[in-house]
Structure 1
Amino acid sequence: MIDEDKKARLTRILYLLGFLDMFGIGMLLPFLPRMIKLLGFSHFVAGVLGSLYGALQIFSSTLMGKLSDIQGRKGVYVLSCFGPAISYMFIGISSTAICLVAARVIAGLLKHGLSTGKVVLTDITPPEELSKTLGYYQAISNGGFIVGPALGGYLIDWDPSYALAAYACSSMFFLSSILSVTFVPSGKLNKTATNNTDEEQKSYISLIFDSKHFSTHKDLIILRFMLTFAVLMLRSSFSIFITEKFGIDNITLGYIMSFNGIIGTLSSANVGNIASFYTSQITLLKHLLYLLSLSLIFISLSPTITLVIVGLIPLSIATSNLRVCLTNLSLARASSDEKGALIGLSYSVSSLSRMISPTLVGILQEFNVTLPCYVSGLSAITATLMSVLVYPLPDIVKKEQ
């Protein structure tokens, strides 16, 4: 257990690490689909590379989460920063198909800094302050995505080989590795966490895929999958969608992504304030689902880039608040020594969507660049109807300890 001063310092460090994570990937990932096309590959191949990352994250997210429960947060956090640093350096060394595959494999296995940071925050933050703390964490992390894409657009304009942007991205994760080694404490951070028995530590895999996690959280797991799929269908196709439909360049794309980051940051910073207007998290969840569905439909049908940008505002508000809302609903049912595995499981569910959506986007974009956007809106509507009519979610119930 750490004292209050160390908690405050650690919280600030985690905010900084979250910012560096999003700043780093913001300089490169929004432009990666265009890079793959410049190498002569089709939309489908670009989608398969994206799906490879998601497939690896399905297994590694829950594994890393459970490892952090058993072995402590520090080692997992350091690995989650150092792995992506190597991954994105590969892209800078050589922009070839082999290096791209190697980079996505390493990132898929090891990039879990944001989820691990969230777990550490749940360890050291009182439940009544968790929504606000996670909201600030998400807001500051999104702040990195304000600066990153705008800078990345200029770096790629100066160096069309993408090497400069890749090295800049990699350097942010090397810096995060140093900070996590220096400031993230070893050992248990929550005195209520229980020690794991030798029998529990014998098989990480059996702990990861324990059916009790699914049975306890199946409603939220299904909903998280549907919502993540909806959002990722848009995000996986967004850069190609707006560049091919509206003819914008890398610098303009960077500014649009940065604008999206600004809205996401402001939305995340006010997650606690928005939640305070609701006495029921379920009511908040349903209202956010309505907003998400409407914004995705609006973007899909927008005839101009200006209207697309307008549609990003309610979309960012909905997604920022939904992430925290779903996390709070899940943690309310979990015991203290299950937090890492549970958040890891949530990221694995998201990764399942991340595995499916890029390939599907690639297939659909071979016919029409707008088709993935329509599928995105349809998926959000399906999730909303499921939560309201077909599969009503129960109110938060604290799990018996």
Structure 2
Amino acid sequence: MLNKYKNIIYTIAFMDLFAIGLITPLFGTHLRGLGASNFLIGIIASSYSGIQVISGPLIGSWSDVRDRKVVLMISLLFCAVCYLSLGIFSSIFCIFLIRLLLGFMKHTQSICKAMVSDLFPPDKHSELLSRTAVLGTIGFNIGPLFGGFISELSNGFTLVCTLTFILFLMNIFLASLLPSFKKRHEKGDELQVKSLGIKQELLKIGANIKNIDWPQSWHLFAMRFLSSIATALFFYNQTFYMKEFFNLSQRHIGYVITFSGTIQTITVYSLSYLNQMFYKNEPDGVKCISHFFLLMSIASLLLCFANQFTYFLICIIPFVISSSVLRISTTQIVLEKCDKDKIGTYGGVSYSFVSIAKFIVPTLSGIVSDSFSNQASIVLSFIPAITGVILTSTILKKKNKEL
């Protein structure tokens, strides 16, 4: 039975990001066709990450309070309607509101990761989270190929939105096949299902967020934030960098992005084997995170000297490997360090820090690029990466002293 649930979660993760991959590359072009300026497109794009800073802990905590399966299905239904609406409305203001609603409710991946922690023993988490991420990455990488083809047809953007709507409906059906995650409490020797009204749910959500143990958890969220901002700085600027310094066409840039995606897929798929070989006696994962922060720091510095495209391509390999490992490992350490009944809350707060990184990177990159160059924006990823090395080294030293 667990194998069945595992395959369902894999499929939901794949179809979710495949659907997003269909529409994401077309969204900016669609807005330009409706008359939106570059500034307005940037505002609409940033609003999604901005609202997720707030909604991540709320939806995550809600999934702790309410049946996680129900929250996932409601989230998927909400997103299905919103993506269909994007293909119907031509008002930029309406599209902006729809993006805000999507940002608030779109938490499929984080809920799926919480379900993995609920359903499977801790020794399986690394393998299952890695494979979930692999399938999501594959979906997101191949989605644009299909989306680009469909967009060239008559009313292409509307057709893509309709297909996205159908994929989300299929995910709702798959989610309905998962087991319920009803919260239970003890009364005497008897376990009873806890049933809360809306008011009590809201109070419980607020209490869960308020009761996060920040003194014991801040370093977990800090590692997640530092890896996210370092990764976002590189990937946000790589297209501009390749155009400016190497004069690559959009087609060749696409090849490089596909190459990066392939490296990500191989890395994430191999992560469980990597942990078993080199970090078997380090169950908390901090040493692994420290090593890959160091690799990311070195890769960021090497990019300073990548004056030829071949060298640039070689340098991005360690960066992509380290960013892939850090994405999974920092997620895993957050989910494993928290209490089981607060997995959704901690996962949501963790994702909020990712959203903060995505929200501030476009502005930060713009300031640095205008003042210096796009190369400076990419190399800027060295700062959060080396900060991650310092933080994890401090944690390891403290741990060794306690032993």
TM range (shorter): 0.7 to 0.9
For structure 2, list consecutive stretches of 5 or more residues without a partner in the other structure.
none
Cα 1:148–1:67 shift into 2, 3 Å: same
C-alpha RMSD over aligned residues:
3.4
Distance 1:166 1:103 in 2: 13
Aligned AA for 2:286? I
1:121 shift after superposition? 0.6
- Does 1:57 find its partner at 2:61? no
Cα distance between partner residues in 2 of 1:220 and 1:310: 31
Distance (Å, rounded) in 2 between the aligned partners of 1:299 and 1:171 = 42
Give the aligned partner of residue 344 of structure 1: 348
In structure 2, relative to structure 1, the CA distance for the partners of 1:49 and 1:245 (3 Å cut) is: farther
SS in 1 for 2:179: coil
1:135 aligns with 2:130: yes
In 1, distance between residues paired with 2:192 and 2:398?
28
The answer to whether the Cα contact below 8 Å between 2:183 and 2:193 also exists between their aligned partners in 1 is no
Q: Distance in 1 between matches of 2:233 and 2:398?
A: 28
CA contact (8 A) 1:84 1:111 kept: yes
Displacement after TM superposition at 1:254 (Å):
4.3
Please give the alpha-carbon distance, in whole angstroms, between the structure 1 residues aligned to 2:311 and 2:26: 22
Residue by residue over 1:163-193, the C-alpha shift from the partner in whole angstroms, topping out at 9 and shown as x without a partner, is 444444444323222322x312223389999
Match of 2:229 in 1: 229
1:351 to 1:29, Cα distance in 2 relative to 1, 3 A: same
Supply the distance in 1 between the matched residues of 2:185 and 2:303 (Cα, whole angstroms).
Answer: 47
Is the alpha carbon distance of 1:114 and 1:293 closer, same or farther for their aligned partners in structure 2, counting shifts above 3 Å?
same
Q: Distance in 2 between matches of 1:310 and 1:75?
A: 45
Alignment of 1:328 onto 2:323: no
Using the TM superposition, give the Cα deviation of residue 108 of structure 1 relative to its aligned residue in structure 2, in angstroms: 0.8
1:84 CA displacement: 2.9
SS at match of 1:93: coil
Q: Classify 1:184/1:361 alpha carbon distance in 2 versus 1 (closer, same or farther; 3 Å).
A: farther
2:177: which partner in 1?
Answer: 183
The reply to whether residue 383 of structure 1 matches residue 378 of structure 2 is: no
Task: State the AA in 1 paired with 2:322.
Answer: A
* Superimposed CA distance per residue, residues 113-143 of structure 1 (whole angstroms, 9 cap, x where no aligned partner): 0000000011111111111111111112212
Q: Would the aligned equivalents of 1:150 and 1:254 in 2 still touch at CA under 8 Å?
A: no
One-letter amino acid of the structure 2 residue matched with residue 355 of structure 1: F
Give yes or no for contact 1:35–1:162 (8 Å, CA) kept in 2: yes
How far did residue 272 of structure 1 move? 0.8
Cα deviation, 1:293-336, whole Å, max 9, x if unaligned, reads: 23344456544555544444323321222123223322343221
AA of the residue aligned to 1:290: L
Instruction: Pick closer, same or farther for the CA change 1:138–1:161 going to 2, 3 Å.
Output: same
Structure 2 partner of 1:399: none
Give distance in 2, aligned partners of 1:374 and 1:43. Answer: 25
Structure 1 counterpart SS, 2:319? helix
Once the two structures are superposed, what CA deviation does each residue of 1:210-261 show, in whole Å capped at 9, x if it has no partner? Answer: 2533222111212221221121223333444445655555555544433332
Matched, 1:214 2:219: no
Larger radius of gyration: 2
Deviates more, 1:82-91 or 1:8-17: 82-91
Aligned residues: 389
- Counterpart in the other structure of 1:17: 12
C-alpha change, 1:246 and 1:164, in structure 2 (3 Å) is: farther
Q: Distance in 2 between matches of 1:44 and 1:113?
A: 29
In the alignment, is the contact (CA less than 8 A) between 1:153 and 1:252 conserved in 2? Answer: no
Separation in 2, partners of 1:393, 1:99 = 52
Distance in 1 (alpha carbons) for counterparts of 2:32 and 2:313? 24
